[in-house]
Amino acid sequence: MGEYEQREEEVALPFDPANTANDGSVIFIGKVRSEWTSRPDCPKNLVQARERGHGAKVEVFEPYLEGLIGLEKFSHAYIVYWMHQARRDLIVQYPRFKDMPTGTFALRSPVRPNPISLAIVKILSIDAKEGIIEIDAIDCLDGTPLLDIKPWFDSVDNVKI
């Protein structure tokens, strides 16, 4: 579990989901490569990451390279990753930017029972043979485990609410 001091009014589960999960498993298919090597330096979201102007790379492991076939037809993709240094037991958090405690599922915080995060990124280039996808930005630490890549479809994902 990453370093995190529990704040007043935050509520932790009576167990750590990392130690009790037995209903499924995930496979890491690669790693995210970014400029960010420490949590204090890492941007909190993609807006901040893009403002800092650092691109990033997604590295896909060899057994999964064929899964990249056809991705070059897309301008953007969802990158789904595992925030491996995040705390997993808080169910109510008190973010510094809020004036009251808030349930984990009403936040975009990486602190959650399953620390899954996602980003919609612009694909700059793909080297399918080497398994390297260059992207415009990312808001996670270098070496963050990659769970999945999904193409972004304007016709489906650009929802007007």
Number of domains in the chain: 1
Is 4 contained in some domain?
Answer: no
In 3D space, the residue among 38, 134, 129 whose CA is nearest the CA of residue 79 turns out to be 134
Is 93 contained in some domain?
Answer: yes
HSE-CB for 89 with a 13 A CA cutoff? 15
For the entire predicted model, the pTM comes to 0.86
Is 159 contained in some domain?
Answer: no
What string of DSSP letters covers 107-134?
Answer: S--S-SSS-EEEEEEEEEEEETTTTEEE
Give me the pLDDT at residue 4, please: 66
Each of the 161 residues of the chain gets a pLDDT tens digit; together they read 446 678 888 888 888 777 776 767 788 999 999 999 998 899 989 999 999 999 999 999 999 999 999 999 999 999 999 999 999 999 999 988 888 999 999 999 999 999 999 999 999 999 999 999 999 999 999 999 999 999 999 888 887 77
Give me the pLDDT at residue 21, please: 62
Is 1 contained in some domain?
Answer: no
Is 2 contained in some domain?
Answer: no
Is 157 contained in some domain?
Answer: no
Give me the pLDDT at residue 39, please: 87
For residue 112, the enclosing domain spans 11-18+28-152
CATH of residue 75's domain is 2.40.30.70
Is 112 contained in some domain?
Answer: yes
Is 145 contained in some domain?
Answer: yes
HSE-CB for 131 with a 13 A CA cutoff? 16
